[in-house]
Amino acid sequence: MPSLKSRIIALVLKLSRKKAFSSPEAMHQWIAHARKKQSHQPPTSITSRFDTTTHEVAGFPVYEIAPRAEISRRILYMHGGAYVFEITAYHWDFIAEMADRLGFGITVPIYPIAPEHDFHDMFGMVGDVYRDMLHETDARDIVFMGDSAGGNMAVVLTMMMAEEGLPPPGRHVLISPGLDMSLTNPQVFEAERTDPWLGIPGGLEAIRLYGAGMDRGDWHISPLYGDLSVLPRTLLLTGSRDLLSPDNLIFVERARALGVEIDLFYEEGMFHVWPLIRMPEARRARDRIVAFLDEPHPTMETGTADNKSSPNLT
């Protein structure tokens, strides 16, 4: 059963953040409100604990949290926010814990967001960030990690780099990723009814704003339809109360059929990007992420002992 804290958070989300996704008009109102108060700067809780620097790529800031001296591995973290919202304190809190527990260097691009910018601006910038990382770090030592829209970006970026002939990262960690924006799966509409956060009308407007006129079924927007065979070993975390979850499970099936090693962490009763919010269920998810990235030798595994209710994906 979901914890009391997670149920309270779900209720708060339903009464607040869900409204942003209720209509295109509501999405624009929330974007306008966010622009007045948003800040991409990491909190002092990060800058005081870690060696943190910043530089610009394509005119946008990139934060670097230095790795521990004996560790060469790095994470490229792409934050979520429906492509229209800036990085939040929840993201920074999660990033800080990953830096502390893993000791990896973490690269955080503050990529251009819609409606001021579009797909080409976003991926032009994060593509340059990855190319720069490859000059300093072996691709096998790089992890693409992202939540929600950032999870989508991780998969799309890997596919785009493959088209250029560049190597994929060593691993993916995808937290509630958006992988199919085509809305061809009827289960998504059923899932929306129990999702306390996301909604289809506002979500479609966010996709329109960043999509640069591309069809929602294009793999650049919906990577479920791209070449999944180029993907590295992946940990995907999703919950039963997330409208993106049905497509996440299809993604796992299709990728595994192409030989991609994917660990699925499925949490019953959990909503969108729950690992970013401090509560008992998030602790289990964060522990699984750390264990996945700490493994010296890849092994095939589905889920964990903590989520025995994972759906059967045979």
Render pLDDT for 190-232 as a digit per residue (tens, 0 to 9). 999 999 999 999 999 999 999 999 999 999 999 999 999 999 9
- Per-residue pLDDT at 300 exceeds 50: no
- Per-residue pLDDT at 302 exceeds 50: no
Other beta carbons within 10 Å of 1: 7
Confidence of residue 113 (pLDDT cuts 50, 70, 90): very high
**Between 232 and 308, whose confidence is greater?**
232
Single pTM value for the model? 0.94
What pLDDT sits at residue 239? 98
Other beta carbons within 10 Å of 44: 8
Confidence of residue 290 (pLDDT cuts 50, 70, 90): very high
Half-sphere exposure of 38 (CA within 13 A, CB side): 15
Secondary element (H or E) of residue 89? helix 89-102
Q: Which domains does the chain have, with CATH numbers?
A: 4-294 (3.40.50.1820)
- Per-residue pLDDT at 299 exceeds 60: no
In this structure, are strands 105-109 and 60-65 parallel, antiparallel, or unpaired?
A: antiparallel
**Between 301 and 46, whose confidence is greater?**
46
- Per-residue pLDDT at 251 exceeds 50: yes
What pLDDT sits at residue 295? 84
> Could you read off the pLDDT of 114-169 as tens digits, one per residue?
999 999 999 999 999 999 999 999 999 999 999 999 999 999 999 999 999 999 99
Confidence of residue 307 (pLDDT cuts 50, 70, 90): very low
Cα Rg for the chain, rounded, in angstroms?
18
> Could you read off the pLDDT of 24-59 as tens digits, one per residue?
999 999 999 999 999 999 999 899 999 999 999 999
- Per-residue pLDDT at 261 exceeds 50: yes
Q: Give me the mean pLDDT over the 14-19 stretch.
A: 96
- Whether residue 85 contacts residue 64, with contact meaning beta carbons closer than 8 Å, is answered with no
Q: Exposure of 161 by Cβ count < 10 A (0-12 exposed, 13-18 middle, 19+ buried)? A: buried
What pLDDT sits at residue 311? 59
> Could you read off the pLDDT of 77-107 as tens digits, one per residue?
999 999 999 999 999 999 999 999 999 999 9
